[in-house]
Amino acid sequence: MIGGDTRVATGVPAGRLALFALLGVCAGLPFYLFSTILSLRLAQNGVGLAVIGFFAWVSLLPTFKFLWAPVVDRVGVPGFARFYGRRCSWILASELGIAASIAALALTHPDASLPLTAFCALNLAFWTTMLEVAADGWRIELAPGAAAQGPIVAANIWGYRSAMVAAGSGVLVVAAAAGWVVAYLVPAAIALAAFVPIALTRREGEGSRSSALIAGIVATTALVAGVAVLIGAAGAALLAIADLLDIGAGSNVTPWLLGIALAPFLAMAAAIPAIRRRSGSAIASSPAPVGPYLDFFWRYGFVAILLLAFVSLYRMGDVLALTLSKPFVASLGYSLRAIGLADGIVALASSMAGVATGGLLAARWPAGRTLALGALLAGLGNFAFVWLGAHALSVPALWLATGADQFGNGFAGAVFVVYLSLIVNPAHASAQYAFLSGFAFLLPRLLAGGAGAFAATHGYAAFFVMSGALSLAALLLLPFVLSAHPREAR
């Protein structure tokens, strides 16, 4: 049984570790399918490098998960919620949404309609994010301390990255043998199969399992259709605005990106004085949609801006490199099969080693030491691609660069998740973690949209040098971040 009490050496129940590893698998499976693997598919279908860079903006959608995260804490999916509880209801609904979205994305090949491909990718990104929001809030509530968070985070990211890397590798191998449609339909079926063990978990809710599943599936079908309509309408509006502003594949989008990226920092800084003047009781009684976020700025004040700047920089290199790493390696002459095998063998092992090491050290070392080491390793992983580009075509060289990149990403990801989990208020765990983890990728993913244009102008080597240097830039803010202490309610 998933909820068993057998404990491992970490002191955390083994069943709990298995559960969060499973949730990591469910969330990690689709990630590459709407990001790096999709960029490689687009390149193979003749889409230009600048436009491929624009597709990185699909990953912007998860950064806004704080807008709907409070819903997960307060409202459940009809049918599922009564039997499985609020968070598990969203986990089950998200699994169905993920499977449907992957299947739809499979059928958009050969990407003759790029708006349609982007629409399906956005739907997949949304449902993947919903799953993460529900699982993250539950994790923080179950284990509010660093000693327990380290092992659980490691298990969760271990499942996440193993599924992410294995899916990426498997898709490329299958695509090389049977084409892109089959390559996407296989993980769609696997995502649907992941629904089963969670649905069979014993719960103490009301009603029967069968009636809960039937009602939940019906409600989820309506939810998936409603979300698709909203995403389609928003996408059409954005395309109309881009056309009005005459923004296309040849446009210099950097000034727009920098302006948009700075806007939230300026808006939040302007609001902090008014938030800080309010009493703790007034903040606590704020309405649900904004209360968790007012609480964060009330507790940290202007230091919150430094915290947000730090989290924005910390994963910058990873996000930028992810956008173009696969098209870059393919441009060097490596085949889909070679790339897929490197991901399946080296990347998976290296990523798991990085996650395990990061989770272990996060539970034992001071936060400053692990965060600094994570930034350094992530930067070195980016620089490994510069070395690969200067090296003769060689499978061992591909494996070495892939291993360095994935170990650094896994280590930095584990310690970063633990750090974010410890600075949120447990009373608003889902919402505040969603806000911080989403904001952490807002600036990187905005800039990633211009990555293709930058690489096309300055070359891949300059791009990976820049991305690695940005990872290291987080070290400049680390001393200020470590000295931040939240204000206590009186």
State pLDDT tens for residues 383-435. Answer: 999 999 998 899 999 999 999 998 998 899 889 988 988 888 877 777 788 78
Run of H or E including 140 = helix 114-142
Could you tell me which of 419, 420, 423, 417 has the C-alpha nearest to residue 299? Answer: 423
3-state secondary structure of 7: strand
* pLDDT over threshold 90, residue 440: no
Helix axis angle, 146-178 to 395-423, nearest 10°: 140
pLDDT computed for residue 4 by the predictor: 45
Lowest mean pLDDT among 246-255, 362-371, 452-461: 246-255
Proportion of the chain above pLDDT 90, given as a percent = 28
Could you tell me which of 2, 328, 349 has the C-alpha nearest to residue 161? Answer: 349
* pLDDT over threshold 50, residue 3: no
* pLDDT over threshold 60, residue 2: no
* Residue-range domain boundaries for the chain: 14-482
Highest mean pLDDT among 28-32, 244-248, 436-440: 28-32
What are the tens digits of pLDDT across the range 202-221? Answer: 665 667 888 899 999 999 99
pLDDT computed for residue 261 by the predictor: 61
* Burial status of residue 44 (CB atoms within 10 A of its CB: 0-12, 13-18, 19 or more): middle
List the structure tokens of 256: 């727009």
List the structure tokens of 64: 């806004």
What are the tens digits of pLDDT across the range 451-484? Answer: 777 888 888 999 999 999 988 999 999 998 888 8
* Burial status of residue 265 (CB atoms within 10 A of its CB: 0-12, 13-18, 19 or more): middle
* pLDDT over threshold 70, residue 44: yes
Round to whole Å and give the CA distance between 302 and 361.
30
CB–CB of 186/171 below 8 Å? yes
Q: Is the dihedral of CA 128, 254, 474, 439 positive or negative?
A: negative
Round to whole Å and give the CA distance between 114 and 98.
20
pLDDT computed for residue 160 by the predictor: 82
Q: Which CATH code of 1.10.10.10, 3.40.640.10, 1.20.1250.20, 3.40.50.150 fits the domain covering 14-482?
A: 1.20.1250.20
Average pLDDT value for the chain: 83
CB–CB of 203/88 below 8 Å? yes
Higher-pLDDT residue of 289 and 25 is 25
> What average pLDDT does the segment 305-311 reach?
88
pLDDT computed for residue 305 by the predictor: 87
What pTM was computed for the model?
A: 0.68
pLDDT computed for residue 194 by the predictor: 67
pLDDT computed for residue 94 by the predictor: 93
What are the tens digits of pLDDT across the range 75-106? Answer: 889 999 888 888 888 989 999 999 999 999 99
Q: How far is CA 440 from the centre of its chain?
A: 10
Distances (CA, A) of 119 to 100, 101, 132, 178: 13, 10, 20, 24
Q: How many CB atoms lie within 10 A of CB 16?
A: 24
- The amino acid that residue 334 corresponds to is Y
Q: What is the largest CA-CA distance in the chain?
A: 64
> What average pLDDT does the segment 252-270 reach?
68
The 3-class secondary structure across 51-84, one letter per residue, is: HHHHHHHHHHHHHHHHHCHHHHHHCCCCCHHHHH
Could you tell me which of 20, 190, 197, 184 has the C-alpha nearest to residue 92? Answer: 197
The pLDDT-based confidence of 255 (bands split at 50, 70, 90) is: low
Distances (CA, A) of 181 to 56, 78, 164, 312: 21, 33, 18, 35
Highest mean pLDDT among 42-46, 223-227, 296-300, 352-356: 223-227
Q: Is the dihedral of CA 441, 443, 444, 450 positive or negative?
A: positive
Round to whole Å and give the CA distance between 328 and 359.
30
List the structure tokens of 363: 């539970």
**Per-residue buried b or exposed e for 203-223, using 16+ beta carbons within 10 Å of the residue's own CB:** eeeeeeeeebbebbbebbeeb
| Helix spans in 206-335 (H) | 209-244, 254-277, 280-284, 291-300, 303-314, 316-331
Highest mean pLDDT among 89-98, 235-244, 281-290, 448-457: 89-98
Distances (CA, A) of 369 to 152, 373, 416, 477: 20, 6, 12, 13
Round to whole Å and give the CA distance between 273 and 262.
19
Proportion of the chain above pLDDT 70, given as a percent = 90
List the structure tokens of 358: 């990061």
Secondary structure letter of residue 344 according to DSSP? I
Phi, psi of 248 (to 5 degrees): -140, -170
3-state secondary structure of 289: coil
Phi, psi of 2 (to 5 degrees): -60, -35
